[in-house]
């Protein structure tokens, strides 16, 4: 009986959040090891389906770096990076689009549908969902007097999100799953960072939450302890003081951009924890870092 009562308490703790978030839009960046482990993939799909059933509108933007690496290696194409961005020539872009749009996206859609949801896969080309500009070449200093220009190739920045197709799917109770491949004015496919696409979608849809799933617990302080909650000023301080490092810096900048353009809250949390989505959203303590204005 005690176990049953504890289950009821969990439901009651979630009740205020269920009431608050009904009808709201949650944008998820889905990637990392959570996409590779079968049990974690199943848990993610079930969590997303539950959100939809209780009246929240989830939208998924996914990555696929390890899957791209595997195919590039099989094809004998060398992977090159600059500041975390994949240098993308035409051959690499063909692989990126094939893997993200043709394989990873359809696997996620198929899994959600298999477990009882209604998902539809999209790329930036569908309905001109993601219009993008080719990223400018990067100037890199080699010595105090010399520098080098690095062209990232077919790498893009989001220029505009056309949300109409997403709102149509929302009204029809479908779950959109978006591959981060944009299209230029000339109709050229461009490879875009999935975090940035998720943030741009959140801004375009005036989302309640942007949720960035990672392989770490969240944002940490100098003592490597999790920081449960941050505001914009505190987040900026972590960057300027050098406390935030490596891959966390672009995620925090992504969060700051989204918050400055109207997204209500941003969550950074560990997607490798089973049912991390529900624990982060529907419990008072959460499991990651919540960033608010």
CATH number of the domain residue 85 falls in = 3.40.1160.10
Query: pTM value?
Result: 0.93
Residues 244 and 134 occupy one common structural domain: no
Confidence of residue 179 (pLDDT cuts 50, 70, 90): very high
The mean pLDDT value for 186-215 works out to 96
Calculate what percentage of the chain has a pLDDT beyond 70.
Answer: 95
Chain CA centroid to CA 73, Å: 25
Q: How many structural domains is the chain composed of? A: 2
pLDDT of residue 144: 64
Assign residue 149 a region (left: φ > 0; alpha: ψ between -120 and 50; beta: otherwise). Answer: beta
Is the pLDDT reported for residue 26 higher than 80? yes
pLDDT value, residue 8: 75
Q: Are 155 and 250 part of one and the same domain?
A: no
Answer yes or no: do 233 and 104 share one domain: no
Neighbours of 36 (CB within 10 A): 12
Average pLDDT of 250-265? 96
Verify that 131 and 185 share a domain, yes or no. yes
Tell me the C-alpha to C-alpha distance, in Å, between residue 178 and each of 12, 102, 124, 166, 264.
Answer: 33, 12, 8, 10, 21
Own/partner long-range contacts of 102-111 (Cβ < 8 Å, ≥24 apart):
103/64, 103/67, 104/35, 104/62, 104/64, 104/67, 104/179, 105/62, 105/177, 105/178, 105/179, 108/30, 108/35, 108/45, 108/60, 108/62, 108/177, 109/177, 111/41, 111/42, 111/45
* Exposed/middle/buried for residue 117 (C-beta within 10 Å: 0-12, 13-18, 19+): buried
Q: Domain for residue 241, yes or no? A: yes
Higher pLDDT, 188 or 146: 188
Pairing of the two strands 181-183 and 189-191: antiparallel
Residue 164 lies in a domain: yes
Q: What is the pLDDT of residues 5-25, one digit of tens each?
A: 766 777 788 889 889 999 999
Residues 52 and 196 reside in one and the same domain: yes
Residue 185 has pLDDT above 80, yes or no: yes
Whether residue 122 is contained in a domain is answered as yes
User: Can you tell me the distance from the alpha carbon of 268 to that of 74, in angstroms, rounded to the nearest whole number?
Assistant: 33
Same-domain check for residues 122 and 246: no
Q: Which domain holds residue 126?
A: 24-207
């Amino acid at each position: 009986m005690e176990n049953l009562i504890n289950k009821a308490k969990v439901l009651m703790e979630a009740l205020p959040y269920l009431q608050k978030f009904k009808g709201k839009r949650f944008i998820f960046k889905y990637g990392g090891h959570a996409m590779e482990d079968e049990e974690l993939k199943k848990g993610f799909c079930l969590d997303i389906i539950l959100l939809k059933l209780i009246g929240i509108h989830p939208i998924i933007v996914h990555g696929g770096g390890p899957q791209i690496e595997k195919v590039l290696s099989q094809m004998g194409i060398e992977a090159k990076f600059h500041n975390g961005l994949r240098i993308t020539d035409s051959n690499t872009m063909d692989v990126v689009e094939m893997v993200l749009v043709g394989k990873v996206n359809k696997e996620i859609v198929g899994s959600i549908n298999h477990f009882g949801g209604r998902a539809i896969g999209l790329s930036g080309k569908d309905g001109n969902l993601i219009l993008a500009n080719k990223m400018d070449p990067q100037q890199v200093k080699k010595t105090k007097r010399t520098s080098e220009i690095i062209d990232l190739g077919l790498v893009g920045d989001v220029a505009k999100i056309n949300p109409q197709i997403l709102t149509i799917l929302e009204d029809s109770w479908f779950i959109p799953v978006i591959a981060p491949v944009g299209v230029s004015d000339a109709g050229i496919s461009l490879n875009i960072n999935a975090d940035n696409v998720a943030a741009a979608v959140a801004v375009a849809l005036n989302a309640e939450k942007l949720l960035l799933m990672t392989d770490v617990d969240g944002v940490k302080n100098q003592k490597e302890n999790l920081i449960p909650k941050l505001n914009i000023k505190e987040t900026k301080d972590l960057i300027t003081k050098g406390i935030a490092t490596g891959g966390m810096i672009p995620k925090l900048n992504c969060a700051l951009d989204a918050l400055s353009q109207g997204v209500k809250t941003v969550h950074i949390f560990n997607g490798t924890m089973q049912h991390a989505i529900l624990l982060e959203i529907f419990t008072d303590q959460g499991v990651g870092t919540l960033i608010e204005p």
